[in-house]
Amino acid sequence: MGFRLRRSARLGPLRFNFSSGGLSSISVGGRGASFNIPVNRRGGTRTTVGLPGTGLSWSVESPPDRAMPAGAAAGLPNSRRLRPGQLDALKQSLLGVLHQELFAPGSTGEQLWEHGLVSRLFADGSLGARTTGLLALIETPEAMEGYLLRSQGQDDAKRRAQRCITAVQEAARLAAGRGWLG
């Protein structure tokens, strides 16, 4: 069993926990019940309930929030920690992957843009508001780029890239259902 030293500082109800790499998590609560939110470590939030003075406690760690599912997004860059100034590079990298994987010459996505099929789907009028909003993200290359470049953080950028992937899949499904894709 390895030796560990916990370093922390309190500020009101919050406890800031530090590791050798800097701030690792923020905890709320105290004896008997606490809630731990990761900042600079892997994993999800952790809730702990215990009986003070007995040494007995029960801890549950939830999976990390907003994790990008595998599958269509498997080729997207993965970065858990970005240094200041790296967000723009991540956004450009995500755009590159989207253009390469979804809109490469001869791909379904390229056919959607080349033939204006997303605009035709809008004109059809039979789509729901959610689907219309999703397809608006990829109506033109500029719309997709603008949507992704407006992201405020790395998780937001990854979510937006995943939504673009979902939009292309939905547009392809709808266009194929109408016989517009060959």
Judged on CB neighbours under 10 Å (0-12, 13-18, 19+), 106 is: exposed
Whole-number Cα distances in Å, 85 to 24, 88, 92, 154 = 21, 7, 12, 11
Angle at Cα 135 formed by Cα 64 and Cα 123, nearest 5°? 160
pLDDT tens per residue across span 72-90: 445 545 545 555 567 788 8
Q: What is the mean pLDDT of the chain?
A: 78
> What's the confidence (pLDDT) of residue 69?
42
Residue bearing tokens 């939504």: 163
pLDDT band per the 50, 70, 90 thresholds, residue 182 = low
> What's the confidence (pLDDT) of residue 41?
62
> Over 60: is that where the pLDDT of 59 sits?
yes
pLDDT tens per residue across span 16-44: 888 777 777 888 877 777 777 777 666 67
- Is 0.85 surpassed by the pTM of this model? no
Any residues with CB less than 8 A from the CB of 2 and at least 6 apart, and which? none
Instruction: Give me the torsion for CA of 18, 19, 23, 26, rounded to 10°.
Output: -50
> Over 50: is that where the pLDDT of 70 sits?
no
State the Cα–Cα distance between residues 117 and 113, nearest whole angstrom: 7
Angle at Cα 129 formed by Cα 142 and Cα 125, nearest 5°? 85
Q: Which two tokens stand for residue 41?
A: 């470590």
